[in-house]
Amino acid sequence: MPDTLLFYVFSAVAIGASLLVIGQRNPMYSIMLLITSFGALSALYIQLDAPFVAMAQIIVYAGAIMVLFLFVVMLLNAPQEDAAQWDRTHPLRRPGVSRFGAMLAALLTVQLVWALLRVTDAGAAVGGRGDVAEISSVRSVGRVLFTDYVFAFEATSVLILVAMVGAVVLAAREEKR
């Protein structure tokens, strides 16, 4: 019973925080709320007997990526998204673009509802596959990562390396001679 209660508490926190991320105008608050949402999500992972995924979520998203976000927002010093200065001529705010966005959102909603309807019978299938804690343990995650998915894993690393080199090249100023 306490498990179910905790599940609802963390889900509520995750959903509420995520809604508030887009619902209020201060980007600093958005970042803090997003971190809250990540925290609640990782609590849900722990409830699913996947502590490794939960900690990876915190270390990678809340610990590294969000610090970077925070860094950028602090440097840009943009405390308010000012509603009065809404620029209708901005290419991203033309009516056609907005309609396209609305369409995407509707599509996503339909997809989510469809997925949620399917999830009830898929849950039983996962439970039948054996010990969840065993599947999600660090050892088995590592083994799968370096055997079955080794190409995807290495390709991703190369991709990230390329992005890093690109960032360095773009950011590096020419040496003055």
Sites of contact with another protein (CB under 8 A): 28-29, 32, 35, 51-52, 55-56, 58-59, 62-64, 67-68, 70-71, 74-75, 79, 138
Q: How long is the chain? A: 177
Least distance from another protein to the Cβ atom of residue 124, Å: 27
- In contact, 74 and 31? CB cutoff 8 Å: no
CA distance 87 to 80: 15
Based on CB atoms, which residue is closest to another protein, 9 or 103? Answer: 9
Least distance from another protein to the Cβ atom of residue 108, Å: 30
What kind and span of H or E run contains 23? helix 2-23
Distances (CA, A) of 113 to 18, 84, 122: 18, 36, 14
Based on CB atoms, which residue is closest to another protein, 48 or 58? Answer: 58
Based on CB atoms, which residue is closest to another protein, 72 or 103? Answer: 72
Least distance from another protein to the Cβ atom of residue 64, Å: 7
Least distance from another protein to the Cβ atom of residue 109, Å: 32
CA distance 69 to 74: 9
